[in-house]
Homo-oligomer: A and B are copies of this chain.
């Protein structure tokens, strides 16, 4: 394959004509496909249907402590669920709070509490003139939306191959006491799919924040969401590392079973230091009497223990892996060597991060949409939906059936080529 930049004007013009015809063919198929969000597919959901059977009318719904899970009470979660989720999150059960069905909701509530009541005795953020948050970009749009909603300034730091640019993070966190937190997806990151290196995690744990109420928001959304059995990313556990580094209270770790059991009907958790937990419970006991213990019990009875959960995740991987590989194969086949795009090859998680040439992402996504394939909006991986390079596109291969996925990926490559050729021709002042 020859790089597009090395093609002559005539070659590009001919190519454009050919690509436009191929694009027209896709349009004529009247597709209606969606690769926009990290939703499990039907086959993945079917894996957890057994969870609907473990509790029935003749089963005892009492937890290990003898608590009747059908009644009020237990603010922080039933012991066996804390044990299971602690194992999933690689923290002691004592460091855990089990919430409702959504870790996003836990993160929102964490920001909201800091805004209304402050963090461990510090000034509530609503009483401060200016609060900032670091957003690792590209990243998760719903994270950025929370801080933006609270009028917090989102400050971007680029995601590199082994994690965020830690020189920038250290500089910002240590010099500016209005920086109160950082949004991280440390493992199989959304959308890049890569994980933070040991060195990066160690530097996180050793941050010297100017703000006493600075917290790392460690969204471990894909902690056991591997694609391969034999090639898995392993992270240093951040709670223990922060403790060892003398920063025991600096991190909130989030996770849920949304992509383990059922999205929307899973259980979500926050893990942090005992000091932070004490601070959080002062608020939580005002907000609720307790979360859904029957659903906690349902999860424990279905998975048994962390080994059962990991075995279950292998079944997810068996469904997801071919989808990732199909997309990557098409990207490789169609785009390698053209020097018009780069993309990641994740070993877990839910996304492939795709970069066009500068200024092409919006057009590519728009072209896909006009041929019936919905992608995540270009820019969505940046705060405010604004990607300064207009280059990043998040590919979510999990939901569509395999055949649809291949069609969508092929269309994507056609659109990328077409938009790239037109960009090059325009730059050269050549009409097309």
Please judge, given known A-B contacts A101-B292, A288-B108, whether A50 and B40 are in contact too, CB under 8 Å: no
Q: B49 near A57 (CB under 8 angstroms)?
A: yes
Among residues of B, the one whose C-beta sits closest to the C-beta of A37 is B72
Q: A287 near B57 (CB under 8 angstroms)?
A: no
Q: How large is the interface on A (under 10, 10 to 19, 20 to 34, 35 or more residues)?
A: 35 or more
A145 to B288, CA, bound (A): 11
Contact string against B for A residues 172-193, beta-carbon threshold 8 Å, 1 for contact and 0 otherwise:
0000000000000000000000
Interface stretch (choices A262-270, A381-389, A410-418, A420-428):
A262-270
Contact of A287 among B49, B52, B108 (CB under 8 A): B108
User: In the assembled complex, how far is the CB of residue A338 from the closest CB belonging to chain B, in whole angstroms?
Assistant: 35
Question: Which residues of B are found within 8 Å of A59, using beta-carbon distances?
Answer: 52
Question: Which residues of B are found within 8 Å of A105, using beta-carbon distances?
Answer: 287-288
A73 to B263, CA, bound (A): 9
Q: B292 near A108 (CB under 8 angstroms)?
A: no
Among residues of B, the one whose C-beta sits closest to the C-beta of A117 is B149
Q: B149 near A286 (CB under 8 angstroms)?
A: yes
Q: A102 near B264 (CB under 8 angstroms)?
A: no
Q: B288 near A104 (CB under 8 angstroms)?
A: yes
**Most interface-central of A61, A116, A126 (chain B CB within 10 A):** A116
User: In the assembled complex, how far is the CB of residue A188 from the closest CB belonging to chain B, in whole angstroms?
Assistant: 18
Among residues of B, the one whose C-beta sits closest to the C-beta of A285 is B145
Instruction: List residues of A (68-127) whose CB comes within 8 Å of B's CBs.
Output: 68-74, 100-102, 104-105, 108-109, 112, 115-117, 124, 126-127
Q: Is chain A's binding surface mostly helix, strand, loop or mixed?
A: loop
**Most interface-central of A37, A116, A264 (chain B CB within 10 A):** A264
A42 to B39, CA, bound (A): 39
Tell yes or no: A289 within 8 A of B by CB: yes
Q: A289 near B112 (CB under 8 angstroms)?
A: no
Instruction: List residues of A (148-163) whose CB comes within 8 Å of B's CBs.
Output: 149-150
User: In the assembled complex, how far is the CB of residue A258 from the closest CB belonging to chain B, in whole angstroms?
Assistant: 8
Contact of A53 among B48, B57, B72 (CB under 8 A): B57
Q: A71 near B39 (CB under 8 angstroms)?
A: yes
Tell yes or no: A45 within 8 A of B by CB: yes
Tell yes or no: A15 within 8 A of B by CB: no
Q: B263 near A292 (CB under 8 angstroms)?
A: no
Tell yes or no: A55 within 8 A of B by CB: yes
**Most interface-central of A69, A71, A102 (chain B CB within 10 A):** A71
The residues of A with any CB-CB pair to B shorter than 8 Å are: 37, 39-40, 42, 45, 48-50, 52-53, 55-59, 61, 68-74, 100-102, 104-105, 108-109, 112, 115-117, 124, 126-127, 142, 145-146, 149-150, 258, 262-265, 283, 286-295
Show 15 A/B contacts (Cβ-Cβ < 8 Å), sorted by A.
Answer: A39-B72, A45-B70, A45-B71, A49-B58, A69-B264, A69-B265, A71-B263, A72-B263, A100-B291, A101-B291, A108-B287, A124-B126, A142-B286, A149-B286, A264-B293
Q: A71-B263, A100-B101 are in contact. List 6 more A-B contacts (CB 8 A).
A: A45-B70, A48-B70, A72-B264, A102-B288, A104-B287, A265-B293
